[in-house]
Amino acid sequence: MNDMGMTCEGCSFEKGETCSIGILENIKEESSVCNLVDGHYQFNRICPHRNNENLTEEQSFQKATLPISFIVLDDDLEKTKGILETITSATQGERAYNVCIVTLDNFKELKGLADKYLNYFVLRVFSDDRESHIRDAFLKVTNGYSMVIDSEEAFDISNINNLNLFVNKKMKRVGLITGSPYTVNNVIFKYLKGNKVVSYEEKLNALSEEQEVAKMVYTWEELNEVVNS
């Protein structure tokens, strides 16, 4: 399996040459290499649902929940608080989600909310350079994905669920989602050194072409269309 990343062999969802949770067809579509070997599919796409634990479909999707960090760029204290309430309500304090608030003027007030909101921290900055704020925040977040939200922007909380479905059900590779919230794959972003020298988007497009893999840059409109199809 030198050119493969994973096999269905041994997975509790494998049923003959099919998948009981309907992921296999999407894997075939998203893998540049996918072969049937001794009755088991082998492919170069990572499947988050492969297990020998006899999980239910619901348990598997719960286990595969993407680690997502929200980077909130604070420009207005009350609006930032509103975004925090929205995120907390949607994620119910789950450990898969973290919030990094970047603030210039409201550090004390936001720091004082530590007992109210789970899994969040405040990053104090000393200039009004938005790009440097984002770069500083990315140094603090863990692997997974990051959604960058300006407190002045409208935030659609359904983006969280749709991103999970896009990656864990539709099996899409995601490096960047343009628009609001600007969303990146943290590992790839750090590996490609973000927007240094050349834009991150250009680097991703070049990487997709070089490795002959499906596109990794999407708009939210494209993502939502695929999820709802």
Residue 204 belongs to domain with CATH number? 3.90.550.10
* Same domain, residue pair 37 and 148: no
With respect to residue 105, please indicate whether it lies within any of the assigned structural domains. yes
With respect to residue 216, please indicate whether it lies within any of the assigned structural domains. yes
Q: What DSSP line would sit under 92-158, residue for residue?
A: TT-TTEEEEEEESS-HHHHHTTTTTSSSEEEEE-SS--HHHHHHHHHTTS-SSEEEEEETTS---TH
This prediction has a pTM of 0.86
Name the maximum alpha-carbon separation found in the chain: 62
With respect to residue 23, please indicate whether it lies within any of the assigned structural domains. yes
* Same domain, residue pair 88 and 182: yes
Q: For the chain, how many structural domains are there in total?
A: 2
- Name the domain boundary from 14, 44, 60: 60
Rounded-to-integer distance, Cα 98 and Cα 63, Å: 17
On average, the pLDDT of the chain sits at 88
Tokens representing residue 135 in the block: 């770069």
* Same domain, residue pair 131 and 211: yes
* Same domain, residue pair 184 and 77: yes
Tokens representing residue 13 in the block: 């969802």
Q: In whole angstroms, how far apart are CA 211 and each of 33, 44, 108, 215?
A: 12, 12, 47, 10
Q: Structural domain of residue 52, as residue ranges? A: 6-60
- Name the domain boundary from 36, 60, 84: 60
Question: Where does the pLDDT of residue 19 fall: very low under 50, low under 70, confident under 90, or very high at 90 and above?
Answer: very high
In this prediction, residue 2 carries a pLDDT of 40
Chain segment 143-165, per-residue pLDDT in tens? 899 999 998 887 888 889 999 99
* Same domain, residue pair 51 and 74: no
Average pLDDT rounded to a whole number, residues 9-15:
93
Q: 136: exposed, middle or buried (C-beta count within 10 Å: 0-12, 13-18, 19+)? A: middle
- Which residues on neighbouring strands pair with residue 148, listed in sequence order? 71, 182
Q: 72: exposed, middle or buried (C-beta count within 10 Å: 0-12, 13-18, 19+)? A: buried
* Same domain, residue pair 18 and 93: no
* Same domain, residue pair 125 and 209: yes
In this prediction, residue 213 carries a pLDDT of 67
Tokens representing residue 1 in the block: 């399996």
Chain segment 76-121, per-residue pLDDT in tens? 999 999 998 888 888 876 767 889 999 999 999 999 887 777 788 8
Average pLDDT rounded to a whole number, residues 21-34:
88
Q: What DSSP line would sit under 8-36, residue for residue?
A: -TT-TTEETTEETTS-HHHHHHH-S-EEE
With respect to residue 1, please indicate whether it lies within any of the assigned structural domains. no
